[in-house]
């Protein structure tokens, strides 16, 4: 039987031990989507694969298809993201980013747009100095929008009116004016400062978030709204988020 080889750029979402000498990684590949790949001998310090599946690196891989898994045949580093490895806060943020993508994607599911978004987001985590909760809020809004669940924030999701948007509804999909609030069973009051923050975090690029200064109360309220919205529309929760929350209390 002819051995199948794949050549692709990929991002390591996570890795696990699979034997006394080997590790297995979950790769999000640019060409073939999410797939598992074994790095033979990766637990040995002298192995050429010892650094091949470090979490959150970007690399070019040559993979060959085995009976149950793909195996790494060759690899070449593109982005090492060493700052993430050195900084606990950055590592927690990157872990959350990796977990969201891993949970959202089915095995072999392809999405070049999502791949490029992940690559850009991890580079921002590595290179920039952004408050973790602010980054996560912006990342989450961008992610759910990319997935087709962007909350409507510029006008009432029911009637389209741009005035008096004083409520937010997960089920209806965004901001709701005071005249329409009874049409959404879960509409909750929305302060205008929070609405402005939501709009800003959604639209601004990561670089500009380095200069953002907001109170802890606003950060937490924005995060609470986005987290509930994601739970409603993605129907899942992310364990790594607990570490981000703990950082805020340290």
Residues 137-157: tens digit of each pLDDT: 999 999 999 999 999 999 999
The CATH class of 5-82 is: mainly beta
**8 A C-beta contact, residue 135 and residue 208:** no
Band (1; pLDDT cuts 50, 70, 90): very low
Lowest mean pLDDT among 209-213, 215-219, 239-243: 239-243
- Give residues with Cβ within 8 angstroms of 192, minimum separation 6: 166
**8 A C-beta contact, residue 146 and residue 113:** yes
Confidence at residue 193, expressed as pLDDT on a 0 to 100 scale? 97
How many whole angstroms separate alpha carbon 125 and alpha carbon 170?
28
- Strand partners for 8: 61
- Whether pTM > 0.85 for this model: the answer is yes
Instruction: Write the pLDDT tens digit of every residue in 81-99.
Output: 999 999 999 999 999 999 9
Domain-wise residue ranges, the chain: 5-82, 128-248
* DSSP state, residue 183: G
Residue 235 has pLDDT above 90, yes or no: no
Average pLDDT, the chain: 93
Residue 3 has pLDDT above 60, yes or no: no
């Amino acid at each position: 039987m002819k051995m199948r080889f794949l050549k692709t750029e990929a991002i390591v979402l996570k890795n696990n031990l699979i034997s006394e000498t080997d590790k297995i990684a979950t790769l999000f590949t640019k060409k073939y989507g999410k797939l598992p790949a074994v790095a033979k001998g990766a637990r040995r310090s002298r192995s050429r694969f010892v650094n091949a599946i470090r979490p959150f690196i970007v690399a070019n891989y040559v993979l060959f298809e085995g009976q149950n898994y793909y195996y790494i045949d060759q690899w070449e580093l593109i982005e090492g993201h060493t700052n993430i490895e050195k900084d606990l806060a950055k590592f927690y943020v990157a872990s959350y980013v990796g977990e969201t993508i891993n949970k959202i994607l089915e095995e072999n599911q392809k999405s070049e747009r999502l791949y490029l978004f992940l690559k850009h987001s991890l580079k921002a985590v590595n290179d920039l100095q952004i408050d973790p909760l602010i980054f996560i809020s912006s990342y989450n809004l961008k992610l759910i929008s990319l997935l087709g669940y962007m909350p409507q924030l510029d006008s009432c999701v029911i009637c389209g009116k741009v005035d008096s948007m004083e409520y937010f509804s997960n089920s209806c999909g965004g901001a709701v004016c005071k005249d329409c609030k009874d049409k959404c069973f879960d509409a909750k009051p929305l302060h205008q400062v929070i609405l402005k923050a939501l709009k800003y975090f959604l639209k601004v690029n990561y670089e500009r978030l380095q200069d953002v200064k907001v109170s802890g109360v606003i950060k937490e309220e924005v995060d609470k709204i986005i987290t509930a919205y994601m739970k409603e529309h993605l129907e899942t929760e992310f364990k790594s988020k607990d570490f981000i929350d703990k950082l805020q209390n340290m």
